[in-house]
Structure 1
């Protein structure tokens, strides 16, 4: 699937979530977050170098970013792996477990990747900023972990 276009409605979903105000067993529904800006950042895998750098930058900028939007990380990792990642790095925001790959597909970030000459399917590091009305207000594609926080803040 292709990525949702700017100013189009953000694809809705209900998925398992943990962290922030969410506890094990909770789910989050995107449409229930209307009335606030939402940052959905998609990343490949918990506790890997780039993903850790990206998550920790958001953690370190939390005071500023949390005033502007609700932030959710999304990967295909399990809630259990997310909980360990959150605890290890003291992440203040929730992570969504997309084990069935419905959200990464709906947002067009489940893509063919290659490393060392081998191709495989994986999550593209991309971020979607969703406005208070549930529309896509920014799409940040293939963001670099070091530049992610600044790019998100600029988009808000």
Structure 2
């Protein structure tokens, strides 16, 4: 791992604990050598997601598009419209046909569920790199 890679905070949202666990397992502790270690924040409700993002410090949100009663696509659209420095957003979709809904949600990316670890780490690492480039460099 790169010494300069800052830790990243990833919020994982689903009302189902097994979905949250599958995401954490697929991503592991670091998705790429140049991306810092991941710190996970888990949320089981839409209100928890909004509250966590409002506090700040979240770099990326993985949102379950199949969550009930509030789905990840609606939360994604809400966050993009309400948060000035919105974290990168990824929506988990169960069907490829739902990609158009994910586009409507303004998500930065989609991942199919069940989650493929190779694809997930590639997508998440790319989004975290993009997020890091948007932020000013921190002097040591």
The reply to whether TM is greater than 0.5 is: no
Structure with greater strand share of residues: 1
Structure with greater helix share of residues: 2
Superposition TM-score, scaled by structure 2 size: 0.38
Superposition TM-score, scaled by structure 1 size: 0.35
**Could you say which structure has the greater relative contact order, defined with CA pairs below 8 angstroms and 6 or more residues apart?**
1
